[in-house]
C-alpha cells in the first residue's frame, strides 16, 4: 500500500496541518464526552444490579479511564496544532481513504468531499443501527 505522501491529489485536498490536527482533536474530545455521558446513563440504570460485581465496577472504571485518556490526547493535539507553522500542509484524501465510517472521514479530513457528504446526508443516504 502506498503511503499518503506518495500520492498527489488535487489542491482541494491539501490543507493546513494545524487545521487537520484541530479537527482530530475536536473529534476525540467529542468521543470522550460521549463516553462520559453514556457511562453515566449506564451506571444510573444498572448500578443497583451490578455495583457489587467487581467486573462491572472495573468496566465502569475502564470507561472512565478511556474517556480521560481521549481527552488528554485531544488536549495534546490542541497544543501540537497551535505549534505547527501555518505553511505546513497535508494531503488528506488518501489519509482518510481507509476509514470505515463516512461521517468520521468527512469530519477529520478530505475537505474536498465535504459537499458530497452533506448532499448524501441531506438526501437520507445513511444507516441507522
Nearest alpha carbon to residue 25 among 73, 63, 66, 69: 73
pLDDT digits (tens, 9 = 90+) for 1-52: 445 444 455 666 788 999 999 999 999 999 999 999 999 999 999 999 998 9
pLDDT digits (tens, 9 = 90+) for 43-66: 999 999 998 999 999 999 999 999
Task: Parse the chain into domains and list their residue ranges.
Answer: 14-89, 91-121
Contact between residue 16 and residue 89 where contact means Cβ atoms under 8 Å apart: yes
Could you tell me which CATH number the domain at 14-89 has? 1.10.287
Contact between residue 96 and residue 108 where contact means Cβ atoms under 8 Å apart: yes
Nearest alpha carbon to residue 110 among 95, 97, 92, 98: 92
Amino acid at each position: 500500500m502506498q503511503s499518503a505522501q506518495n500520492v498527489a491529489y488535487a489542491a482541494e485536498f491539501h490543507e493546513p496541518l494545524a487545521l487537520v490536527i484541530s479537527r482530530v482533536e475536536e473529534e476525540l474530545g467529542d468521543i470522550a464526552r460521549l463516553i462520559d455521558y453514556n457511562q453515566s446513563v449506564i451506571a444510573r440504570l444498572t448500578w443497583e444490579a451490578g455495583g457489587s460485581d467487581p467486573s462491572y465496577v472495573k468496566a465502569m472504571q475502564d470507561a472512565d479511564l478511556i474517556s480521560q485518556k481521549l481527552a488528554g490526547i485531544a488536549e495534546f493535539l490542541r497544543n501540537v496544532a497551535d505549534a505547527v507553522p501555518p505553511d505546513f500542509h497535508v494531503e488528506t484524501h488518501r489519509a482518510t481513504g481507509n476509514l470505515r465510517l463516512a461521517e468520521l472521514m468527512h469530519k477529520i479530513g478530505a475537505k474536498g468531499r465535504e459537499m458530497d457528504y452533506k448532499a448524501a446526508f441531506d438526501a437520507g443516504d445513511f444507516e441507522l443501527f
